[in-house]
Structure 1
Amino acid sequence: MAYNRPTQDSILEKKLGLTALTALVLSSMLGAGVFSLPQNMAAVASPAALLIGWAITGVGIVMLAMAMLLLTRIKPELDGGIFSYARAGFGEVMGFCSAWGYWLCAVIANVSYLVIVFSAFSFFTDTPDRVIFGDGNTWQSMIGASVLLWLVHWLVLRGVQTAAGINLLATLGKLVPLAVFVVLAIAAFNLDKFRLDFTGIELGQPVWQQVKQTMLITLWVFIGVEGAVVVSSRASNKRDVGRATMLAVLAALVVYLLVTMLSLGIIPRAELAEMRNPSMGGLMALLLGGGGHVLIAVGLLISVCGAYLSWTIMAAEVPFIAAQQGAFPRSLSKQNARQAPAASLWLTNGSVQICLILIALTHADYNTLLTIASEMILVPYLLVGLYLWKVAAGKPKVLFVAAGATIYGLWLLYASGPMHLLMSVVLYAPGLLLFLFARRGGRGTSPLHIAEKALMVLLIVAAVPAVWMLLR
């Protein structure tokens, strides 16, 4: 078997504690999204719809986090998080689809972070007559993003523990501008502005439709909730994995609620919807003067770099774990002398680099990447709830959490709409070629069942009309 395993002593030296795990999860969630959240939400929903949408998301994401917490205790032997749960519960093909979907989400999320970093730089460099970084999709942005990409690559190669320590400092750094914004927004909050067009008559859509349109945005800002579960094999105490997940989710939920609702009390929804992202910068300029933009831009840079570091760790971990279990090629299970998943990291960051070149050529923006990344995580999240349901063993409290997580997963699939589902089919189908390559010559850990083979054929066949409909 041609992959390296560290000794038990070296593993113990590299374990992550509760603080580092919590920072990993919180940093991966509190990335670029929170700074663009005011405009993103105001553009699609009224205050009434946002209150309903956040209530649904709050309950759903807490149920998902609790499902992960329970699974770390019911199945502590399953390292690798959502991939391992899908594989153990539903077979090799579903396990691969979960890993593939999650990995694609992580790659696209990393690209979006690099795009938004250089979009933030444009506040300092661009003028109406001279565009350098623009929306983070110019060739200058691509060069800068590539430098940052390979700098973080080198950092993670020095060891996950080193990267997690730096991430903890970045997490603390990003909370400062967010705290300043919340305090100033509370002082400036105007109830009359908040209640203006409370149900969104100007949007021309019923409240329930507005709620549906918030779902991928609210999901996007919570992607990363599984961070501690993904790196559970590197936790010093498995019970810390669930604790870190819950602590980070509750903290992020409070931040998101305050940022969204307080923003609607500073300026009316219609005006907020027209602001340039990161919209929190424009709001801070109103609250604090010219220095507000600078504070938020600096906070965004620290925040996104921290989130990018977290996601680089998680993105490399999934192919590494999947390769150990035969779903990805075995060559991706190699580690370097510092126990960093080197081969998987090279694949991941090489893919990010290709995407950055495509972004510079196509000029795709942050919101496009947000949609694609959010869509690819839907199936992996749904399978977490379904697997907990399968192993609940008739325990009422566990079944309640499993039902809540499963219903939330199904709601997200419904709310995302048919076109986004077609997009996910198109992206899942090519991954099956990698799966077949990994299993060539009987290298899989177990043979495929007829139902699994039928699922593979169905995905490949469905990809053809899906591509045709998307092109139309």
Structure 2
Amino acid sequence: MSAASDQKISRLALTAMVVGSMVGAGIFSIPARFGAATGPFGAIISWLIAGGGMLMLAFVFQSLAMRKPEIDTGIYGYATAGFGNYAGFIAAFGFWAGTCLGNTTYFILIKSTIGAVVPMFGDGNTPMAVFFSSIILWAVHFMILRGIKEAAFINQVVTVAKIIPLILFVIIMIFAFQKDMFVASFWGGGSYSFADLFAQVRSTMLVTVFVFIGIEGASVYSRFAKKREDVGWATVMGFIGVLCLLVMITLLPYGVMLRPELAGLRQPSMAGVLSYVVGPWGAWFVSIGLIVSVLGAYLAWSLLAAEVLFSAAKSKLVPQFLARENKNGVPVAALWITNILVQVFLLSTMFAQEAFNLALDMTSAMTLIPYVLVAAYALKLTLKRETYAADETSLSRDMKIAGVATLYALFMLFSGGFKHILLACILFAPGSIMFIMAQREQGNTVFNTAEKSLFIAMTIGAIVGVIALATGQITI
């Protein structure tokens, strides 16, 4: 029996994985990101769309966990089962690369936070910021090598530690809330037209996706669950709790500061809001909470990224050396490749003008692609009535849920703009070399006709993206 087989994770730990994965850098940046985009009314519309769409996606993960218990590799396993090996690879690679980009945002935000008092860290993308981020990167790497269950326990502790300052922030905002100020910003200062409101809401879409990434945390770790039904329960309950927190942290600051003031705050903007209300100690309190939160979320995401790459190797979608485990049951080769890619992304931030926003938006775009495939697989099951032979009531409900989840993920992907799709192609096209290597290892035909067409389209997109970057049509 392998070391991994007896490292079972409880329902509480799975829920902490979901909450810990979602509550990271994004939640601390919300006041300024929303303040720059829209007012309270647009924010409410945004969260209704995002909350409704992501709740449907949470229900999809819950349903698939029960209807397809034999698929224990989560997000990429569903894509493989529904649409073939290359689709499974795309889901695995998209989630993995998106997670690596997400980890990069964490380092940027930590150093940007410290940069408020230590100028050499600047906005988190200076050479010194990258150097110290690299030290943290490899320190956590060697801690994870000691064992997954130990890291999962640390994640539970950190999850509790970072939720406390967020709840205290909400309580202080409630007591400081001024109705007149909230009303003054309510319509966002626009032209009150549908087109203007849509533009405001659209500009928040990738932000809302980013803060929900991690909803699949329990699904990815389903092979470690003590009970299969715990996976779905942890996904839905973790999502609902985080959604309530996100809505309050978005809306309450509008009753404390005017929208232009919120928009001008330095990241992490939650620190600026609390400092405005209670004085300088508020900024320190939030900053410490952010660092704890981000380090905890980084730990969870590092585990998720390595697990996806390891599982893909076990299913022979990427080269077999990535399936290697150490004596503690940790996917050691996958972890090394993951952190090497994060290191590359960290180095590249020194050349990006808006490093945090770019990494955040790219994380959302890369992760939405596997979300589309998972939701589409759930929809395919209902259309083919697979696993629904004697369950007409669930069939109708699940078809609607999967249909809404699929449309939502597609809408969010394209609302982010063509720029991010081209940048995603720049990662996907060369990344497909791993899939080609794996297929050749097995002596398989690399692509079927449909897969070859998709690969060619992504390669063309990558070429167009590189040309656009070189000519300045796309800036980073």
Q: Same fold (TM over 0.5)?
A: yes
Paired residues for 1:64-463 under 5 Å = 64-123=57-116, 125-126=117-118, 131-202=119-190, 206-362=196-352, 364-392=354-382, 393=385, 395-444=395-444, 448-463=447-462
Q: Distance in 1 between matches of 2:209 and 2:456?
A: 30
| Counterpart residue identity of residue 451, structure 1 | A
Equivalent pair of 2:4/2:330 in contact (CA under 8 Å): no
Q: What's the CA shift for 1:115? A: 1.4
| Counterpart residue identity of residue 209, structure 1 | A
Query: Which SS does the other structure have where 2:255 is aligned?
Result: coil
Query: Which SS does the other structure have where 1:158 is aligned?
Result: coil
Q: What's the CA shift for 1:201? A: 3.0
Equivalent pair of 1:99/1:322 in contact (CA under 8 Å): yes
Q: What's the CA shift for 1:443? A: 4.1
| Counterpart residue identity of residue 84, structure 2 | G
Q: Distance in 1 between matches of 2:137 and 2:404?
A: 38
CA-to-aligned-CA distance 1:256-281 (integer Å, 9 cap, x gap): 00000001110111111011111111
Q: Distance in 2 between matches of 1:160 and 1:364?
A: 34
CA-to-aligned-CA distance 1:206-232 (integer Å, 9 cap, x gap): 001111111100001001111111111
Q: Percent of counterpart pairs with the same letter?
A: 38
Equivalent pair of 2:145/2:332 in contact (CA under 8 Å): yes
Q: 1:360 to 1:459 in 2, by over 3 A?
A: closer
Q: What's the CA shift for 1:364? A: 4.9
| Counterpart residue identity of residue 190, structure 1 | Q
Aligned Cα RMSD in Å?
A: 1.7
Equivalent pair of 2:365/2:421 in contact (CA under 8 Å): yes
Q: Distance in 2 between matches of 1:197 and 1:108?
A: 33
Q: Distance in 1 between matches of 2:211 and 2:461?
A: 30
Q: What's the CA shift for 1:48? A: 1.3
* Paired position in structure 2 for 1:4: none
- Please say if 1:35 is aligned against 2:23: no
Q: What's the CA shift for 1:176? A: 1.2
Q: Distance in 1 between matches of 2:216 and 2:108?
A: 23
Q: Distance in 1 between matches of 2:130 and 2:466?
A: 28
Equivalent pair of 2:190/2:197 in contact (CA under 8 Å): no
TM-score (norm 2): 0.93
CA-to-aligned-CA distance 1:141-186 (integer Å, 9 cap, x gap): 1121111111111111111100010011101011111111101100
- Which contiguous aligned blocks of 4+ residues in structure 1 show a shift greater than 6 angstroms? none
Q: 1:15 to 1:203 in 2, by over 3 A?
A: farther
Question: Which structure 1 residue ranges, 5 or more long, are not aligned?
Answer: 1-6
Aligned length: 459
Query: Which SS does the other structure have where 1:249 is aligned?
Result: helix
Q: What's the CA shift for 1:80? A: 1.7
| Counterpart residue identity of residue 448, structure 2 | H
